[in-house]
């Protein structure tokens, strides 16, 4: 068993090794500010509260999308199906134009870019941006949401690999 | 397409319908404060930053474990395998003694209860507790972690059902 000192802090490598063991649904977050459009793949999206409807996620200072996310008043959080793996990879690849293919996205009347054909999307207003280590925690109030396509299996990221959920992965009804 | 007013806020039911579409790894969080021991199942655990190693999760004011979590100086976050579904259900069931079976948990030298045989655990110090709607967002600095058993498939919660990941769910290597 490891030592139980309360002062020792884990190394980044030890921490990453533990968190590789935690599966997560895959989201792509889009936003616009100061004429910049960004799209960022995130595995940190979670529901915080249903009344009021609040969502949180974190963004790393290392991501080129983060300055725009931090300036944006609203964001769109897309939940992805496994057939949207190309969109997940698009939002996770450095140095490319994530909006180059104009057939896969449009712009809401409220200004944010959004991707077509995702599992569900939630558009929300940023309530707070809290610095946390090399990242920021973003708290969002949901303004509207749409379940677009729930017929395909959802996309999950785990241990640096992609998975899909469905009857093949179900272990028990509740 | 839905209306794009920036002021309309989703109903709790609309919000829950969208978030049912978001899969999540399953964690059980334990803590102790003022002589109380608690265990709480959470699907909101996410890594925030690797340097320093930070984790976030949210707790609902409706959970009986929340007052103790909010008072605790440290917590243990357990990541679960699918064969630990009974522990996940234990931490999600109201009105039961979650520590009644003394064969499945022990106490760290530092005082926190922890469950045996989980996929991985991370012990950390609570840095902040931020009220957010009917919940609180807890930010934790990881002090130590251990991958206990990565040979079994991890547990995922999705659309009110439990799933397991493995070769059967993998869609593509990276």
Q: How far is CA B69 from CA A33, B48, B105, in A?
A: 37, 19, 18
Output the pLDDT for position B174. 47
CA distances from A146 to A53, A109, A149, B3, B19 (A): 14, 15, 9, 11, 10
Q: In sequence order, what are the beta bridge partners of A164?
A: A155
| Residue B58 main-chain phi, psi, to 5 deg | -120, 150
pLDDT, tens digit only, all 174 positions of chain A: 444 445 577 899 999 999 999 999 999 999 999 999 999 999 999 999 999 999 999 999 999 999 999 999 999 999 999 999 999 999 999 999 999 999 999 999 999 999 999 999 999 999 999 999 999 999 999 999 999 999 999 999 999 999 999 999 999 654
Q: Give chain B positions within 8 Å (CB) of A6.
A: 74, 110, 125, 143
Helix (H) or strand (E) holding B47: strand B46-49
Please name the residues in contact with A111: beta carbons below 8 A apart, sequence gap of 6 or more. Answer: A32, A74
Q: Would you give the distance in Å from CA B4 to the centre of its chain?
A: 33
What is the interface size between A and B, counted as CB pairs within 8 Å? 278
Q: Pick from B86, B92, B80: which is nearest to B25 by CA?
A: B80
Task: Give the pLDDT confidence score for residue A7 in this predicted structure.
Answer: 59
DSSP assignment string, A62-77: TSTTHHHHHH-SEEEE
Which one, of A71, A80, A77, A21, lies nearest residue B55 by Cα? Answer: A21
Which of B22, B54, B161 minimises the CB distance to A79?
B22
For chain A, give the number of residues: 174
pLDDT at A105: 98
Do you know the residue count of chain B?
Answer: 174
Cβ pair B82:A171 closer than 8 A: yes
Query: Are A43 and B46 a contacting pair at CB < 8 A?
Result: yes
Q: Residue A117: which region, alpha, beta or left (left: phi > 0; alpha: psi -120 to 50)?
A: left
Q: Looking at the complex, does the CB of residue A45 fall below 8 Å from at least one CB of chain B?
A: yes
Q: Does A133 touch chain B (CB under 8 A)?
A: yes
What pLDDT score was predicted for residue B4?
A: 46
Q: Which residues of B touch A129 (CB under 8 A)?
A: none
Does residue A52 have a cis peptide bond before it, meaning omega lies within 30 degrees of 0?
yes
CA dist A12 and A34 (Å) reads: 34
Q: What pLDDT score was predicted for residue B9?
A: 78
Residue B153: DSSP 8-state? P
Cα(A4)–Cα(A7) distance, rounded to whole angstroms? 9
Residues in chain B with CB shorter than 8 Å from the CB of A14 are: 53, 145
Asked if A56 has any chain B CB less than 8 Å from its own CB, the reply is: yes
Phi, psi of B85 (to 5 degrees): -50, -40
Exposure string (b/e) for A14-40, b if CB count within 10 Å is 16 or more?
bbebbbbbbbbbbbbbbbbbeeebbbb
Q: Which helix (H) or strand (E) holds B27?
A: strand B27-33
- Say if the Cβ atoms of A15 and B53 lie within 8 Å: yes
pLDDT at A9: 78
- In this structure, the number of other CB atoms found within 10 A of the CB of residue A104 comes to 15
Question: Residue by residue, what is the 3-state secondary structure of B73-131?
Answer: CEEEEEECEHHHHHHHHHCCCCCCCCCCCCCCEEECCCCCEEECCCCEEEEEEEEEEEE
Contact at CB, A120 and B18, closer than 8 angstroms: yes
On whether any CB of chain B is under 8 Å from the CB of A144, the answer is yes
Residues of chain B falling short of pLDDT 50 = 1-5, 174
A68 CB-contact burial (10 Å; exposed 0-12 / middle 13-18 / buried 19+): buried
Nearest to B132 among A15, A139, A142 (CB): A139
CB distance from B57 to chain A under 8 Å? yes
Q: Where are the beta strands (DSSP E) in chain A?
A: 24-25, 27-33, 36-42, 46-49, 54-60, 74-79, 105-107, 113-115, 120-132, 135-147, 155-158, 161-164, 170-172
């Amino acid at each position: 068993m490891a030592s139980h000192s309360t002062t020792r802090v884990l190394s980044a490598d030890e921490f990453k090794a533990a968190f590789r063991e935690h599966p997560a649904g895959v989201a792509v977050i889009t936003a616009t500010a100061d004429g910049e459009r960004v799209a960022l793949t995130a595995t940190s999206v979670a529901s915080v509260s249903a009344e009021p409807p609040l969502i949180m996620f974190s963004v790393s200072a290392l991501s080129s999308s983060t300055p725009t996310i931090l300036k944006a008043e609203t964001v769109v959080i897309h939940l992805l199906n496994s057939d949207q793996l190309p969109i997940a990879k698009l939002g996770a690849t450095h140095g490319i134009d994530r909006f180059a293919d104009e057939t896969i996205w449009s712009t809401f009347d409220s200004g944010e870019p959004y991707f077509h054909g995702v599992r569900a999307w939630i558009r929300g207003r940023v309530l707070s941006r809290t610095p946390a280590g090399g990242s920021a925690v973003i708290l969002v109030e949901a303004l509207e949401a749409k379940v677009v396509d729930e017929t395909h299996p959802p996309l999950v990221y785990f241990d640096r690999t992609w998975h899909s959920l469905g009857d093949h992965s179900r272990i028990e009804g509740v």
